[in-house]
A and B are shown apart, each in its own frame.
Chain A
Amino acid sequence: MDVLLQQVINGLVLGSMYALVALGYTMVYGIINLINFAHGEVLMIGALCSWSLINILQPAFPNLPGWMILLMAMALASMAAAALNFAIEKIAYRPLRNAPKLAPLITAIGMSIFLQTIAMIVWKPNYKPFPTLLPSTPIAIGEAVITPTQLMILGLTAVALAVLSWLVNATRLGRAMRATAENPRMASLMGVKPDMVISATFIIGAVLATLAGVMWASNYGTVHHAMGFLPGLKAFTAAVFGGIGNLGGAVVGGLLLGLIESIGSGYLGELTGGVMGSQYSDIFAFLVLILVLTLRPSGLMGERVADRA
């Protein structure tokens, strides 16, 4: 039972990060029907930027507490990532908005590899240790433990979701985003500029992804140029799992996927009699994806949309 509790905690932490990234995927898909393959790389760039920033900030402000440095770096890195994502959308995706569906997909894949390669060049391909800015003494919860970093992840995610919820439901921008997602033409007739809404979506997605990236780096202790690929793919799976285009679904999908992965890889060895161990944990996300798309393509909370002839 104690093992299960630990897996649950780990799963929720992992799932929170998936949720943040999944939101980026689902928002973009909801508005322009594009799977932004490069979204995982935004997570990576955000994390690497924050790593560089911390290496500058720490010696510059030796008296500031670790968590403050971390938050400052997160904020600055978010801005950089947002600017990058804005530029990517404007340069690479916007011209292809009306192109046949293969083109933007290829561009997105190309962009993903491009970003990884640039990261390799700028930051060099080695795995870099991420500075520990938070106290590392774990706190006991029953028989399980939770580290301050993990607590921060859960806390920050909750805050981010609350802010996003407010943004989407209570602000003009949020209304414009929801309207564009439902019916772009009507929205533009009502005075909403689609370009602005789309740019805003990419910016918000980048901020969320950076948060997730910095937290990922804090939790696992390393950053490197390829760190965004798998989390990105899994977050996409989470978005589909929850119902693509549905914000609540992205969160639910993310948390559930985190739990499935954590609990599953913990027990996989026992289940398969030692044949398959936790090295296979990465496959879980893919299996979930395939199952969801085969059995219930609209996801947990998505609507069933018929294909009109």
Chain B
Amino acid sequence: MLNTNALFGNRWLLASVLLLLPFVLQPFGNAWIRIADMSLLYVLLALGLNIVVGYAGLLDLGYVAFFAVGAYLFGLLASPHLTDAFPWIATMFSNGLHLSLWMVLPMAAGVAALFGIVLGAPTLKLRGDYLAIVTLGFGEIIRVFLNNLDQPVNITNGPKGIGSIDAVSVFGHPLSKRLDLGFIELPSVTLYYYLFLVLVVVSVVVCHRLENSRIGRAWMAIREDEIAAKAMGLNTRNLKLMAFGMGATFGGISGAMFAAFQGFVSPESFSLMESVMIVAMVVLGGLGHLPGVILGAVLLAALPEALRYVAGPLQEMTGGRLDAAILRQLLISLAMVGVMLWRPSGLWPKPEYGKRLQSVEGRNA
């Protein structure tokens, strides 16, 4: 299908494309760079879910919960909400609550991992379809709590969400402000792009290393045949919890970045449709295959945004019934049914002969 040799074999080409992308997109408007930024956040989510679904074979339909945890964690610790709602916190932190990037990332990862383990624990003995529904349930439960924890104590501010969230600061420069380098000026969206790109690259390396390790192989054995895995001495309970925890960390980090990027979070962003979309990204892209997962994420994240430009005329034609959001849902759902029927291993699955072919194409990360 795609000639991976041409794309991945030539690292420098890939690197240049990625590094120069914001400048290529800029003439078309900052909105396009925003789309690239959101796509990168979705790539993080897809990579995380890939650990749970792709490597360990656990169909998690509530993955958005970890995205929400990371987002709200950052939102609470880097905005005026807590200091406004709780005077005793305001007195403790007289300058307000502001968290630096280097504190956020480990915290978001850690708290999300904890949630991953807690939410994964009840599912350990469940088989595929039941696991899916229970995790779906957990995702919904988290959303309901986020929506309703504004009473009796206002922790999450309910459906109004949390606003005025700080931007991330790197080396003292908040990324919400443009960066003037003299010969060139980088808008905020471009700054965020490079931050997210770094996170994505690091994540890809981490995932690749996990895949080719004792733990990665153990996860895959569980996916293939849990009973045989146990019979070979694998502690499947601990391994599954590890998968949930590890997968969740990506969600948490992505969520924290999302909160900083948007400046605002509300329960609306963390619906079941999001969880389903992330599952679709992983499954349609190519379960367990990193390039496929990234492709799936980019396609499903960027395409609907690009559709907005097509949606306009369509919307008029159908008297307002087809707008961008509906079109996006239509395409994703059709893709899910279609790909399962005609190309069930995804758009870019793992090559047939395993490691041998991959080594022929050139060692990557």
Cβ contact within 8 Å between B129 and A109: no
Cβ contact within 8 Å between B144 and A282: yes
Residue with the highest number of chain A CB atoms closer than 10 Å, among B133, B138, B283, B318: B133
Q: Which of A35, A96, A279 contacts B341 (CB 8 A)?
A: A96
Cβ contact within 8 Å between A107 and B336: yes
Cα distance, A279 to B141, chains bound together (Å): 11
Q: Which of A120, A282, A307 contacts B326 (CB 8 A)?
A: A120
A71 sits at the interface (CB 8 A): no
Cβ contact within 8 Å between B273 and A279: no
Name the A residues within 8 Å of B147 (CB-CB). 279
Name the A residues within 8 Å of B136 (CB-CB). 233
A58 sits at the interface (CB 8 A): no
Name the A residues within 8 Å of B129 (CB-CB). 34-35, 101, 105
Residues A147-185 near B (CB distance < 8 A): none
Name the A residues within 8 Å of B128 (CB-CB). 101-102, 105
Grouping DSSP codes into helix (H, G, I), strand (E, B) and loop, the A interface class, with mixed when no group exceeds half, is helix
B329 sits at the interface (CB 8 A): yes
Cα distance, A184 to B337, chains bound together (Å): 26
Cβ contact within 8 Å between A114 and B340: no
1/0 per residue, CB under 8 A from A, across B152-169: the answer is 100000000000000000
Cβ contact within 8 Å between B334 and A286: no
Cβ contact within 8 Å between A110 and B326: no
B198 sits at the interface (CB 8 A): no
Interface residue stretch chosen among A6-14, A130-138, A215-223, A289-297: A289-297
CB distance from A135 to the nearest CB of B (A): 36
Residues A265-296 near B (CB distance < 8 A): 274-276, 279-280, 282-283, 286, 289-290, 293-294
B321 sits at the interface (CB 8 A): yes
Cβ contact within 8 Å between A103 and B340: yes
Are A113 and B333 also in contact (CB < 8 A) when A35-B129, A289-B134 are?
Answer: yes
B137 sits at the interface (CB 8 A): yes
Name the A residues within 8 Å of B330 (CB-CB). 114, 117-118, 121
Cβ contact within 8 Å between A294 and B122: yes
Cβ contact within 8 Å between B148 and A103: no
Tell me how many residues of B have a C-beta within 8 Å of chain A. Answer: 44
Q: Which of A99, A105, A114, A290 contacts B134 (CB 8 A)?
A: A290
Name the A residues within 8 Å of B151 (CB-CB). 275
B335 sits at the interface (CB 8 A): yes
Cα distance, A95 to B339, chains bound together (Å): 12
Cα distance, A236 to B134, chains bound together (Å): 11
Cβ contact within 8 Å between A92 and B133: no
Are A114 and B344 also in contact (CB < 8 A) when A105-B129, A121-B326, A279-B144 are?
Answer: no
Cβ contact within 8 Å between A280 and B144: yes
Cα distance, A99 to B342, chains bound together (Å): 12
Are A290 and B329 also in contact (CB < 8 A) when A114-B337, A121-B321 are?
Answer: no
Name the B residues within 8 Å of A122 (CB-CB). 321
Cβ contact within 8 Å between A117 and B59: no
Are A293 and B126 also in contact (CB < 8 A) when A106-B279, A121-B322 are?
Answer: yes
1/0 per residue, CB under 8 A from A, across B130-150: the answer is 101110111011001001100
CB distance from A278 to the nearest CB of B (A): 10
Cα distance, A307 to B273, chains bound together (Å): 33
Instruction: List 11 other contacts, CB 8 Å, given A110-B333, A286-B134.
Output: A35-B132, A102-B287, A103-B340, A103-B344, A104-B340, A106-B336, A117-B326, A274-B152, A283-B140, A293-B126, A293-B130
Interface, chain B (partner A; CB < 8 A): 59, 61, 122, 125-126, 128-130, 132-134, 136-138, 140-141, 144, 147-148, 151-152, 227, 272-273, 276, 279-280, 283, 287, 318, 321-322, 326, 329-330, 332-337, 340-341, 344
- Between A and B, 6 residue pairs with Cβ closer than 8 Å are A35-B129, A101-B128, A107-B340, A122-B321, A286-B141, A297-B125
Interface, chain A (partner B; CB < 8 A): 34-35, 92, 95-96, 99-107, 109-114, 116-118, 120-122, 124, 229, 233, 236, 240, 274-276, 279-280, 282-283, 286, 289-290, 293-294, 297, 307, 309
